[in-house]
Structure 1
Amino acid sequence: MLRLKCPTQNYAWGRLGRTSSEVAKLVEGAGYEVDDSQPYAELWMGTHPSGHAALASKEHLTLADWLEDHPEALGQQVLQHFGAGLPFLLKVLSCEKALSIQSHPDKKLAQRLHAERPEVYKDDNHKPEMVVALSPFTALCGFVPQAELAAAFSSVPELCACVGRDLTTAITSPTAAASTSNGREGNGHLANGHPEASNGAHANGRVKSNGHSSDSGASAPLKAAFTALMTCDGSKVEEQVERMAERLRQDSKSRALSVREALAMRLQFQYPGDVGVLASFFLNLIDLTPGQAMYLAANVPHAYIAGEAVECMATSDNVVRAGLTPKLRDTQVLCDSLTYEQGLPEILSGAGDAEHTAVYRPPFEEFEVALTTLQPGQSCSQPASQGPQMCLVQHGALQMVAEPSLMEDHLETSYHVHWDLAGPLLTLIPRGSPAARDLFIPE
Structure 2
Amino acid sequence: MAVNGGKNETGLVKLKCSVQNYDWGRIGYDSRVARLFEKNCGGQIDEKKHYAEFWMGTHVSGPSFVDGIDDLSLKTWILQNPRVLGDVVVDKWGHDLPFLLKVLSVGRSLSIQAHPDKELAGFLHKLHPNVYKDANHKPEMALALTEFEALCGFISSEELDVVLETVPEIKEAVGDACADPILTVNNHNGEVKEERDLRSIFTKLMSVDREVISKALSRLINRLVKENETRQLTSKEELVLKLEKQYPNDVGVLAALLLNLVKLELGDGLYIAANEPHAYLNGECIECMAASDNVVRAGLTPKYIDVKTLCSMLTYKQGLPDILKGVPLNQHVRRYTPPFEEFEVDQCLLDQGASVVFPALPGPSVFVVISGEGTMLTSACEDRVSEGAALFAPAGTEVCVSTGSGLQVYRAGVNSMVLLNP
* Pair in the same fold by TM > 0.5: yes
| Counterpart residue number, 2:6 | none
Report the CA distance between 1:279 and its aligned residue. Answer: 0.1
Report the CA distance between 1:180 and its aligned residue. Answer: 8.4
- Matched residue SS, 1:424: coil
Counterparts of 2:352 and 2:235, CA distance in 1 = 41
Report the CA distance between 1:266 and its aligned residue. Answer: 0.4
| Counterpart residue number, 2:205 | 229
Q: Cα distance 1:67–1:177, how it changes in 2: closer, same or farther (>3 A)?
A: farther
- Matched residue SS, 1:61: coil
Question: Which of 378, 391, 394 matches 1:421?
Answer: 394
Question: Which of 331, 345, 361 matches 2:307?
Answer: 331
| Counterpart residue number, 2:268 | 292
| Counterpart residue number, 1:408 | 382
1:201-220 alignment runs, 5 A limit: 217-220=193-196
Paired amino acid for 2:271: Y
Report the CA distance between 1:73 and its aligned residue. Answer: 0.7
Counterparts of 2:283 and 2:24, CA distance in 1 = 11
| Counterpart residue number, 2:231 | 255
Counterparts of 2:187 and 2:117, CA distance in 1 = 28
Contact 2:99 2:413 in 1 (8 A): no
Contact 1:300 1:338 in 2 (8 A): yes
| Counterpart residue number, 1:437 | 408
Paired amino acid for 1:384: A
Q: Cα distance 1:354–1:269, how it changes in 2: closer, same or farther (>3 A)?
A: same
Question: Which of 110, 113, 117 matches 2:121?
Answer: 110
Counterparts of 2:136 and 2:387, CA distance in 1 = 34
| Counterpart residue number, 1:15 | 26
C-alpha RMSD of the superposition: 1.4
Contact 2:101 2:289 in 1 (8 A): yes
Report the CA distance between 1:354 and its aligned residue. Answer: 2.6
Report the CA distance between 1:355 and its aligned residue. Answer: 2.8
| Counterpart residue number, 1:49 | 60
Counterparts of 1:345 and 1:394, CA distance in 2 = 27
1:18-417 alignment runs, 5 A limit: 18=29, 20-30=30-40, 31-175=42-186, 178=189, 217-402=193-378, 405-411=379-385, 413-417=386-390
Report the CA distance between 1:256 and its aligned residue. Answer: 1.7
Report the CA distance between 1:406 and its aligned residue. Answer: 4.6
Contact 1:5 1:59 in 2 (8 A): no
Counterparts of 1:420 and 1:178, CA distance in 2 = 57
Counterparts of 2:99 and 2:272, CA distance in 1 = 15
Report the CA distance between 1:143 and its aligned residue. Answer: 0.4
Contact 1:391 1:441 in 2 (8 A): yes
Counterparts of 1:437 and 1:100, CA distance in 2 = 30
Contact 1:292 1:348 in 2 (8 A): yes
Structure 1-normalised TM-score?
0.88
- Matched residue SS, 2:298: strand
Q: Cα distance 1:98–1:16, how it changes in 2: closer, same or farther (>3 A)?
A: same
Paired amino acid for 2:407: A
Q: Cα distance 1:353–1:224, how it changes in 2: closer, same or farther (>3 A)?
A: same
| Counterpart residue number, 1:186 | none
Contact 1:391 1:417 in 2 (8 A): yes
Paired amino acid for 1:303: A
- Matched residue SS, 1:323: coil
Report the CA distance between 1:426 and its aligned residue. Answer: 1.3
Question: Structure 1, residues 347-393: CA drift from partner, whole Å, max 9, x if none?
Answer: 00110123311100000000000000001221111111121100001
Contact 1:391 1:439 in 2 (8 A): yes
Question: Structure 1, residues 298-346: CA drift from partner, whole Å, max 9, x if none?
Answer: 0000000000001000011110000000000000000000011101101
| Counterpart residue number, 1:187 | none
Paired amino acid for 2:397: P
Contact 1:27 1:33 in 2 (8 A): no
Q: Cα distance 1:269–1:356, how it changes in 2: closer, same or farther (>3 A)?
A: same
Question: How many residue pairs were aligned?
Answer: 402
Contact 1:147 1:177 in 2 (8 A): no
Contact 2:185 2:191 in 1 (8 A): no
Paired amino acid for 1:424: T
- Matched residue SS, 1:240: helix
| Counterpart residue number, 1:211 | none
- Matched residue SS, 2:354: coil
Counterparts of 2:382 and 2:255, CA distance in 1 = 52
Counterparts of 2:259 and 2:16, CA distance in 1 = 37
Report the CA distance between 1:122 and its aligned residue. Answer: 1.3
Q: Cα distance 1:133–1:179, how it changes in 2: closer, same or farther (>3 A)?
A: farther
Contact 2:36 2:388 in 1 (8 A): yes
Report the CA distance between 1:175 and its aligned residue. Answer: 2.9
Paired amino acid for 2:63: H
Report the CA distance between 1:427 and its aligned residue. Answer: 1.1
Q: Cα distance 1:180–1:108, how it changes in 2: closer, same or farther (>3 A)?
A: farther
Contact 2:298 2:310 in 1 (8 A): yes
Q: Which moved more, 1:247-256 or 1:312-321?
A: 247-256
Contact 1:388 1:421 in 2 (8 A): yes
- Matched residue SS, 1:428: strand
Counting aligned pairs with the same residue, the percent is: 44
Q: Which moved more, 1:6-15 or 1:378-387?
A: 378-387
Contact 2:157 2:194 in 1 (8 A): no
